[in-house]
């Protein structure tokens, strides 16, 4: 399917924004100004983007500890995200959540989640809400290969099939759960096949190929939106950085990382494809590169200068008001 110029530029904008955001945090984190743990998503941009392009603000996603990419792809404000990661006032969660707890209900971002396997049960709740209310809303759960082994994930997949919920389970197989290889930790041949055994359609795609992810996600989201129930997608793409910032990565070689940057970079793969097929111009992509670089500069500048929450803010945002 020809996606058209606007969608392709939108996709590139989202992927490039995620990449620049993460590359910059990798650098800024060394200054010691960013509190808490940071897990970078660079390398996996085509997955979040290919999936979130199918979604509306009123659809929900649930994310992981590696959640910046999902948040950006779902439309969260980048400057407010940066403020949040710096723990500053004006952050998406008032500077009280930080990297691993970014949420924005207005954009359907239910939250990053530090509990591995924590989000599939939340996401099927959002899907059940959509079904009970009779909206055509869809909910999408992003999980890693490690999280695919959690009991919570199994229960959520089973319940989604039994209740025929409008949900899509995305399994991002980046080869590792912390420092443990998924060839060791995942007992099944493939995560997709295991998901299929719960009774839903499931496919495996190359997560560095935006077009492959987009096509699989379009089919799965359409199924969910039209009342045909859940699906699963296993998308394989490696992360460019360590499990967390500061991870010495003793479990993989420098050669693996160099090769990844050379042949497994979804942005380079996207650019090569759209330029070769003359789907968009190189100038238009360069223009996006410049815009995104400026935006990230401004976001970091704003976050560094902003104030921290004060002790007066301590007891706000604790309880929900109905
Ligand atoms: C329930 C639970 N168990 C263990 C951890 C510690 N932990 C944090 S991230 C992680 C690995 C997750 O791997 P994966 O799901 O593949 O996601 P990735 O980091 O590769 O994106 C683990 C074990 C946790 N946060 N929560
Ligand atoms: Mg993983």
| CATH code of residue 268 | 3.40.50.970
For ligand 1, mutation pick of 39, 41, 45, 65 (most atoms within 8 Å of CB): 65
**Domains identified in the chain, total number:** 1
Is the Cβ–Cβ distance between 171 and 148 less than 8 Å?
A: yes
Q: How far apart are CA 242 and CA 240, in angstroms?
A: 7
What's the 212 CA to ligand 2 centre distance in angstroms?
20
- Ligand 1 atom at minimum distance from 182 CA: 16
- Asked if residue 311 is part of any domain, the answer here is no
Give the ligand whose atoms come closest to the C-alpha of residue 143: 1
Q: How far is CA 261 from CA 40, 121, 144, 266, in A?
A: 15, 34, 21, 9
Q: Which residues pair with 206 in a beta bridge?
A: 236
Q: Which residue has the higher pLDDT, 10 or 319?
A: 10
- Asked if residue 142 is part of any domain, the answer here is yes
* Per-residue pLDDT at 296: 98
Provide the mean pLDDT of the chain: 97
Q: pLDDT by residue (tens digit) across 208-249? A: 999 999 999 999 999 999 999 999 999 999 999 999 999 999
Which ranges of 163-280 does DSSP label H, i.e. alpha helix? 182-185, 191-196, 210-225, 254-263, 266-276
* Per-residue pLDDT at 106: 97
* Per-residue pLDDT at 320: 80
What's the 226 CA to ligand 1 centre distance in angstroms?
33
Mean pLDDT computed over 124-137:
98
Whether the pLDDT of residue 275 is over 80: the answer is yes
- Ligand 1 atom at minimum distance from 178 CA: 11
Query: Which string of DSSP letters, residue by residue, matches 91-136?
Result: STTTTSS-GGG--BGGGTB----SSTT-HHHHHHHHHHHHHHHT--
What's the 179 CA to ligand 2 centre distance in angstroms?
9
Q: pLDDT by residue (tens digit) across 17-73? A: 999 999 999 999 999 999 999 999 999 999 999 999 999 999 999 999 999 999 999
For ligand 1, mutation pick of 43, 116, 120, 251 (most atoms within 8 Å of CB): 116
What's the 278 CA to ligand 2 centre distance in angstroms?
34
- Asked if residue 319 is part of any domain, the answer here is no
- Asked if residue 312 is part of any domain, the answer here is no
- Asked if residue 315 is part of any domain, the answer here is no
- Asked if residue 193 is part of any domain, the answer here is yes
- Asked if residue 316 is part of any domain, the answer here is no
Measuring from atom 12 of ligand 1, which residue has the nearest CA? 177
φ/ψ region of 264 (left if φ > 0, alpha if ψ in -120 to 50, else beta) reads: alpha
What's the 311 CA to ligand 1 centre distance in angstroms?
32
Mean pLDDT computed over 197-218:
98
Ligand 1 first shell, C-beta below 6 A: 64-66, 114-117, 144-147, 174, 176-178, 243
Q: pLDDT by residue (tens digit) across 297-314? A: 999 999 999 999 999 998
- Ligand 1 atom at minimum distance from 117 CA: 1
Give the ligand whose atoms come closest to the C-alpha of residue 141: 1
Could you tell me the residue range of the domain that residue 264 belongs to? 5-306
For ligand 1, mutation pick of 178, 239, 240 (most atoms within 8 Å of CB): 178
Q: Which residues pair with 139 in a beta bridge?
A: 60, 167
Measuring from atom 6 of ligand 1, which residue has the nearest CA? 116
Mean pLDDT computed over 82-110:
97
Q: What is the dihedral of CA 174, 103, 92, 18, to 10 degrees?
A: 20
Q: How far apart are CA 12 and CA 271, in angstroms?
A: 8
- Asked if residue 29 is part of any domain, the answer here is yes
Q: How far apart are CA 59 and CA 108, in angstroms?
A: 6
């Amino acid at each position: 399917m020809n996606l058209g110029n606007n969608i392709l530029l939108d996709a590139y904008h989202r992927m490039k924004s995620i990449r620049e955001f993460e590359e910059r945090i990798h650098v800024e984190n060394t200054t010691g100004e960013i509190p808490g743990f940071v897990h970078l998503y660079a390398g996996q941009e085509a997955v979040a983007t290919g999936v979130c392009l199918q979604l509306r603000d009123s659809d929900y996603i649930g994310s992981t500890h590696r959640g910046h990419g999902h948040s950006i792809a779902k439309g969260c404000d980048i400057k407010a995200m940066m403020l949040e990661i710096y723990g500053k006032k004006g952050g998406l969660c008032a500077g009280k959540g930080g990297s691993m707890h970014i949420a924005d209900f207005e954009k359907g971002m239910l939250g990053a989640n530090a509990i591995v396997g924590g989000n599939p049960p939340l996401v099927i709740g959002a899907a059940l809400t959509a079904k009970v209310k009779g909206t055509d809303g869809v909910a999408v759960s992003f999980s890693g290969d490690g999280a695919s082994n959690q009991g919570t994930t199994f229960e959520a997949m089973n319940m989604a099939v039994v209740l025929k919920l409008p949900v899509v389970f995305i399994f991002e197989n980046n080869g590792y759960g912390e420092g443990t290889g998924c060839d060791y930790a995942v007992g099944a041949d493939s995560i997709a096949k295991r998901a299929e055994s719960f009774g839903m359609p499931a496919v495996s795609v190359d997560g560095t190929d935006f077009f492959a992810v987009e096509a699989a996600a379009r089919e799965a989201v359409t199924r969910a939106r039209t009342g045909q129930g859940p699906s699963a997608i296993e998308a394989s793409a490696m992360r460019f950085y360590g499990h967390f910032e500061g991870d010495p990565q003793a479990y993989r070689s420098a050669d693996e990382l160099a090769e990844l940057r050379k042949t497994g970079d979804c942005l380079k793969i996207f650019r090569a494809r759209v330029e070769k097929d003359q789907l968009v111009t190189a100038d238009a992509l360069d223009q996006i590169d410049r815009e995104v670089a400026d935006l990230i500069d401004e976001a970091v500048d704003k976050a560094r200068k902003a104030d921290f929450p004060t002790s007066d803010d301590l007891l706000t945002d604790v309880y929900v008001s109905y």
